[in-house]
Structure 1
Amino acid sequence: MNQLLPIETKFLFKGEVHPSLQLSVIVPAKNESGFIVKTLDALRLQLNELGIAINMDLYEVLVLANNCTDDTFHICKMYQQQYPEFHLHVECIELEEKQAHIGTARRLLMDAAHLRIMKVAGKRGIIVSTDADSEVAPDWVYHIMKEIAAGADVIGGRILPRDTPEISRRHHLRDVTYRFLKTRLESAIDPSDTNPWPRHFQCYGPSLAVTCEMYEKAGRLPMIPYLEDEEFRKALNRVDAKIRHSPKVRIYTSGRLDGRVKFGFSVQLKHWSEMSLRSEEQQVESLDALIFKFDFKNRLRNIWNNGNFETYSLSALAALADWAEMDDVELVNIFNTSIYFESLWEKIEQRLHQQGHSSIVYEPINLVISAMRMHFHQRSKVTIKKLTKELIVGSKALAG
């Protein structure tokens, strides 16, 4: 997955590192002359939650113009001269065809950011990935730093596309709705102290922050032609990184269909457009399937957290295997050979799908969305009824 880098990181971005630096933003850019100024403006004009400009010495921006045939690099250099107080560093490289892809560019940038920020901020220094066709929210840097200070290792920002093509908009909105309801369901059944509700579901290249320590622990970003951010997210998950899907960390990205990679958001938009033309409906895991999986994961997590008691763990795993209709020997073996919980769950989830478990059922997305909305509606009614009863009992006690 990881080949040798085409250039040593130490030869890139050799400018001075400010002693107050805590966060380094990386921006891979290929032929982005039409977007890059807006991207840089948004990164330069960062505010705190009170709307006051944050200290520019706390963060820097690294732009790597790679294999450009337009004025991207020249525009960035002019911007650098226009705003000397803004810690913008720009490099221009030409990669060989086999390595001229987003995985190489983003890896070079993240390694360079890691090298620079380790000099002054150490392992809790923050590397943040974004894209050259995106505009971060005014308080993006502030909220990333705040979430990391609260204990998170990784921050996935909410990515909001601008001008989604009409033909793919319906599918896109349904997909987002399904994923939001899915993560809400997960937070209710298998809650996380480090990623509580409210939260979202995204952790991708346009807005992905990681500490230097966790970047190393996860093996660094894979140098692959596409989906490098998704594979990196999986690697982070496999080492139990504390991933926070913060709704306060937001970014706006282009909804263009002419993507620069073989697979990504632009390709997904094209696929949804084709589905619209064929009147096809996306198939997703049903409500019952999701409830089963999240319940299974929560039960497994409870056993994992009590793993010091070997006898208890074995009997509990056997009971769980019986409940989940899974081979107990296989479950115990996977459990005992796993170092991290999320890695354990990934293997279990793969088995469920590979073996065609009876609980894993797919249905049209519109039906599943309706079912989930009804599920939460019923839950809220029960909660209101319970609270009303408690208020009545409490009032009677006070009156008595």
Structure 2
Amino acid sequence: MTATPTRGLCVVVPMLNEEKLVAQTLESLRAQEYQDFTTVVVDNGSTDRSCQLVAEYAAAHPAMDLRLLHEPEKGTGAAADTGMLFGVEHGATWLARTDADCLAAPDWTAHIIAGFESGLEMIAGRLVPRSDEGITTWERKMMLLAVEVASFFGRIRPGNQGEGYLGPYQMLPGCNMAITADMYRRSGGFPRTRIEDLHEDRALSNQVRRLTRNYGLRRDVLVYGSSRRVKAWGLKNTLAWYADHRYRPEHVDIR
């Protein structure tokens, strides 16, 4: 896990105290149909066995180009930016991100590459709830509907309007997105913020919109995301959290 050049695609995985799920995330990446990528896990101050598990996984699967970095500055934005900049600085052409509680569909990286080959400079993927966390079919359907509603209202939200944008707002799930290394550099990348202060994925989407029209949603770029916030807070409060932090819980890092 040294700082040798990355492969053309660099997949960044921010991590904080994910000893229960990170091995599953890595296994979903190791099972990708398109294998020519580097995985960069960025630990954001874990106090559990997360880093040990990543190191053990790398040792057990030497054919997988897996790196482990450490970012002491608290925040998903800071951790994601550290990983993305590592890719930029070590030769990656394309960057992608998922999170350490997510499962990438087996064709995730293949469809990301196809999206870039079609001319996109930033790709928003589709987020579906994981099926192994005990949510009901009704809850799953409501969560999928909520994502579609949130995407629609994001386009008319005043904070996403204004002069200088070259195209409409595109909701960008932080745990399922990809961007060219050149566009990441030009746009300024993820703001190095805490999730409690700013949704870094929304900020990046708006930065990119000022530079290009070549971005969009690819529904075939699929990640299964954790529903633990919904289970802890309820769907209404979770939606309020993602809508400008209108709901502010005492504990954000649900584990």
Q: Does 1:32 align with 2:18?
A: yes
In structure 1, what is the Cα distance between the partners aligned to 2:173 and 2:148? 18
Out of 28, 43, 52, the position equivalent to 1:74 is 52
Evaluate the alpha carbon distance shift between residue 267 and residue 218 of structure 1 in structure 2; reply closer, same or farther with a 3 A threshold.
farther
Q: Which residue of 2 aligns with 1:155?
A: 123
RMSD of aligned C-alpha atoms? 2.9
Query: Residue in 1 aligned with 2:77?
Result: 103
Partner of 1:254: 226
Q: Structure 1, residues 227-246: CA drift from partner, whole Å, max 9, x if none?
A: 11111111111222411211
Contact kept, 8 Å, 1:66 with 1:92, in 2: the verdict is: yes
Provide the rounded CA distance (Å) in 1 between the counterparts of 2:17 and 2:88.
Answer: 25
Distance 2:194 2:74 in 1: 8
TM-score, normalisation: structure 1: 0.50
Unpaired segments ≥5 residues, structure 2: 155-166, 241-255
- Residue 113 (structure 1) shift: 1.3
Conserved 8 A contact 2:129-2:140: no
Structure 1 segments unaligned to the other structure (5+ residues):
1-12, 48-53, 119-124, 184-194, 196-200, 260-265, 275-400
Which residue in the other structure is 2:113 paired with?
145
Per the alignment, do residues 181 and 68 of structure 1 end up closer, same or farther by CA in structure 2, a change over 3 Å counting?
A: closer
Deviation at 1:109, TM superposition (A): 1.0
**Pair 1:116-2:90 in alignment:** yes
Q: Of 16, 23, 28, which aligns to 2:4?
A: 16
- Counterpart CA distance in 2 for 1:180 and 1:28 is 24
Q: Contact 1:159–1:202 at 8 Å: present in 2 too?
A: no
Equivalents in 1 of 2:4, 2:85: separation in Å? 16
SS across alignment from 1:38:
helix
1:64 to partner: Cα distance: 1.3
Residue 205 of structure 1, aligned match among 146, 159, 174: 174
How many angstroms apart in 2 are the aligned matches of 1:44 and 1:145?
16
Q: What is the match of residue 172 of structure 1? A: 143
Tell me which residue corresponds to 1:239.
211
Q: How far apart are 1:155 and its partner, in Å?
A: 0.9
1:272-314 alpha-carbon deviations (Å, 9 max, x no partner)? 699xxxxxxxxxxxxxxxxxxxxxxxxxxxxxxxxxxxxxxxx
| Deviations 1:342-386, CA, capped at 9 Å, x for gaps | xxxxxxxxxxxxxxxxxxxxxxxxxxxxxxxxxxxxxxxxxxxxx
Structure 2: distance between partners of 1:231 and 1:267? 24
- C-alpha separation in 1, matches of 2:152 and 2:80: 31
Q: Which residue of 1 aligns with 2:200?
A: 228
Cα-to-partner distance string for 1:133-174 (whole Å, 9 max, x where unaligned): 001000111110111011110111101112485696575344
Cα gap change, 1:173/1:147 in structure 2, threshold over 3 Å: closer, same or farther? closer
Q: Relative to total residues, which structure has the larger strand share, 1 or 2? A: 2
Larger helix share, 1 or 2: 1
* Contact 2:151 2:171 (8 Å CA) reproduced: no
Q: Distance in 1 between matches of 2:11 and 2:110?
A: 13
C-alpha change, 1:270 and 1:245, in structure 2 (3 Å) is same
Give the residue type in structure 1 aligned to 2:4: E
**Alpha-carbon contact 1:168-1:272 (below 8 Å) kept:** no
Separation in 1, partners of 2:123, 2:234: 23
Indicate conservation of the 8 Å contact 1:159/1:253, yes or no.
Answer: yes
Residue 181 of structure 1: CA displacement? Answer: 7.7
**Structure 2: how far apart are the matches of 1:15 and 1:238?**
32
| Superposed displacement of residue 176, structure 1 | 3.5
What one-letter code is carried by the residue in structure 1 that aligns with 2:235?
A: L
SS in 2 for 1:209: strand
Pairing 1:342-357 to 2, within 5 Å after superposition: none
TM-score normalized by the length of structure 2: 0.76
Q: Deviations over 1:177-236 (max 9, x none)?
A: 5467889xxxxxxxxxxx9xxxxx642211110001111221221111121111111111
Identity of aligned residues (%): 25
For 1:214 and 1:68, how far apart are their aligned partners in 2?
30
* CA–CA distance in structure 2, aligned partners of residues 131 and 160 of structure 1: 13
Separation in 2, partners of 1:137, 1:247: 12
SS of corresponding position for 2:26: helix
SS of residue matched to 1:117: coil
